Structure 1
Amino acid sequence: MPRVTVHLLRHGEVFNPDGVLYGRLPNFHLSERGHAMAELVAGHFKDQADAGNAPVYLVASPLTRAQETAQPTASALGLDIVTDPRIIEARNHFEGMKVSKGELLKPKHWRYFVNPLRPSWGEPYQAQAERMLAAARDARRRAFELGGDGAQAIMVSHQLPIWATRRSAEGRRLWHDPRNRECTLASLTSLTFDGDDVVGVSYSEPAAALLPGAATTPGA
């Protein structure tokens, strides 16, 4: 069967001076560092293109930070950005809040902690992985139509959906300690497909030079 790689690209750093969990809220733009991260990723893919292995299909979450991360790569490769709502950030009860120990201990939130394995405070991990993998398989098919065997696609998404997708693809349990996610800003989690089956997962950080000092507040 033909092999295609779909790169799950996490967006760059977000301008978020209040440190809120921004989730699906609109108008959270990249910071200056985030734009620089997006440019580094674009350079990474341009180097691949110059070597004769250019990604041929580019998809992004509808959220502002994902669209802004995708733009330099679209310009570098001459690709249109296809917007896919299936790769949006996870839903989360705490969206828009500055999450702290004091906030989490408020009784009004307690009912959202009844099942941390699902999790009960937001979109189930399983639902995230399913929608992301469905979108990745569609991106795989479109990339193959455009580039044939060995083609590449890029999907610009968000940390938690990417991490849930990776754990699902690797056959691992989906509940996890958020502090242990391997999905830094502007990182690539790359799925190798043989037909519609994921047969390999790799990880890289083309913007690693800009990670020291970057914001660590997650989107969800």
Structure 2
Amino acid sequence: MVASQVHLVRHGEVFNPERVLYGRLPGFRLSELGARMAEAAAADLVERGRPVVRLIASPLQRTQDSAAPIMAAFGLPIDIDERIIEPANRFEGKRMGGTGGALRDPRNWPSLMNPARPSWGEPFTSISARMLAAIDDAFHSVDDGDVVLVSHQLPIWMVHRTLAHERLAHDPRKRRCDLSSITTLSLRGALPVEVGYANPAGPLLVQATDVGAV
């Protein structure tokens, strides 16, 4: 037996007043708005009436904070999986745009030479492979019920594009993976397929700042 569904939940808005790209840097927690977003994601999962039996999160603070309302709603511990973490990148701690932004500094241009890889961080193929391995293990880690993985925008988007048989290189501005969104997978035979996408924090997004992801 395996899990019925795996839900990929993105973290909520992060407190990031300097608007830097935070990547894997420590200490970046949810903002007050982000906490409300995380509550909305947990409420959405509860309202589905699905039997969530396991909760897994990336080790970063913002995903731990986002998993907390799900933990409380279903009475589950938060297991950690390093494979669903945000990719590392060369621009962590820097502001990307505007006056003094990293994109205007010629010293950073070599890192922008190959966006199809991408040249500034972990290859898209690597992100996809580790996420799919974690998802496969999640499906096979329980005998029944659903598993929730709380992760990050780019890792979740790599799963979407892989399962949709699309090129992994893409325009980051066109990712369909909003803050506290939920991408749902099920198995078709031995392979995962995407069966749903929900945006429970949608009404809160107009107030949100989302500039910290690669």
Cα distance, 1:195 vs structure 2: 4.6
Structure 1 residue 55 and structure 2 residue 52: aligned? yes
Alignment CA distance shift 1:71-1:2 (3 Å): closer
CA distance in 2, matches of 1:167, 1:218: 21
Residue of 162, 165, 173 corresponding to 1:171: 165
Cα distance, 1:2 vs structure 2: 6.1
Cα distance, 1:114 vs structure 2: 2.1
- What CA deviation, in whole Å up to 9, does each residue of 1:54-99 have, x standing for no partner? 2111100000000000011111101110010100001111011011
Cα distance, 1:115 vs structure 2: 1.3
4+ residue runs of structure 1 moved beyond 4 angstroms? none
Question: What corresponds to 1:72 in structure 2?
Answer: 69
The SS at the match of 2:187 is strand
CA distance in 2, matches of 1:219, 1:18: 14
Cα distance, 1:153 vs structure 2: 0.9
Q: Give the 5 Å matches for 1:4-43.
A: 4-43=4-43
Residue of 178, 194, 214 corresponding to 2:208: 214
Letter in 2 for 1:42: A
Instruction: State the Cα RMSD in Å.
Output: 1.6
Structure 1 residue 111 and structure 2 residue 110: aligned? yes
TM-score, length-normalised on structure 1? Answer: 0.91
- What CA deviation, in whole Å up to 9, does each residue of 1:140-196 have, x standing for no partner? 1113x2x2xxx2111000001110111011111000000100000000111112353
- 17-26 or 187-196, which moves further after superposition? 187-196
Alignment CA distance shift 1:87-1:58 (3 Å): same
Letter in 2 for 1:14: V
The SS at the match of 1:156 is strand
- The percentage of counterpart residues that share the same residue type is 48
CA distance in 1, matches of 2:95, 2:137: 36
Contact 1:167–1:173 (8 Å) recurs in 2: yes
- 200-209 or 4-13, which moves further after superposition? 200-209
